Amino acid sequence: MITLNNEIEKQLIKLAAEKNIFLEGNISKLIVSQSSTDFSSYIQDCISRDKENRRKRLEITKTIQQQNKELTEWKAHNEKLNKDLKLALEASEKAKQTVENDLDVLQKRIQYELVGSIVKVALWVICGVGVITSILFAATLIFGIENKTVESSWSNMFSILLTNSFSIVGTIMGVKYASDKKGRGRKCECDY
């Protein structure tokens, strides 16, 4: 036990009264008063204040620990969400690339089918006109009719048909070349 002289006891009581400063910690439990009941009550007040302050600090510590635990859980949850979002973003990018590739294949297939249809129709028209004109020309030869109009028409018809067939083939090759260049030069600038 610690015993203080009267002058120090008076100074401690005065400090508490004027500036609201008290002894704290386990030392207040070791101090005993020899004579003064004021100092005994001061010591008891110091002990009770110390207990109250410790209780408050303990509550604050527990609150901070709880908040830290919650923040750690939230951090883990946020990291999981970020990881899930990254995976979802990667999956959506892959899906986007797949869709773009499928769209490109579909566009090319439709384009080739359209070109094929145009070629078939053009060939049927060319063959039909050529056959009809040839039948008319053959009829004029068989029946011996001198008709310079049919002869010149037949000659002109075949030159026009030949020119048109080259034009159709050139157009088809140009469309094919342009679509191949467009596909290699950029990804996809489709308007949706």
What's the pTM value of the predicted model, to 2 decimals? 0.44
Strands 2-3 and 31-32: parallel
pLDDT per position as a tens digit, 119-158: 788 778 777 877 887 787 788 778 877 777 767 777 777 7
Token pair in block for residue 15? 């400090």
pLDDT in tens, the chain (192 residues): 677 777 777 888 888 888 888 888 777 777 777 767 787 888 888 888 888 989 999 999 999 999 999 999 999 999 999 999 999 999 999 999 999 999 988 988 888 888 778 778 877 877 787 788 778 778 877 887 777 776 777 777 777 777 877 777 777 777 667 766 655 555 545 444
pLDDT of residue 73: 94
pLDDT value at residue 129: 76
Q: How far apart are CA 175 and CA 124, in angstroms?
A: 21
In the three-class reduction of DSSP (H, G, I as helix; E, B as strand; rest coil), residue 122 is classed as: helix
- Which is nearest to 24 in space by CA: 3, 45, 2, 1? 45
DSSP codes, 28-97: HHHEE-SS-HHHHHHHHHHHHHHHHHHHHHHHHHHHHHHHHHHHHHHHHHHHHHHHHHHHHHHHHHHHHH
Can you give the pLDDT at residue 13? 80
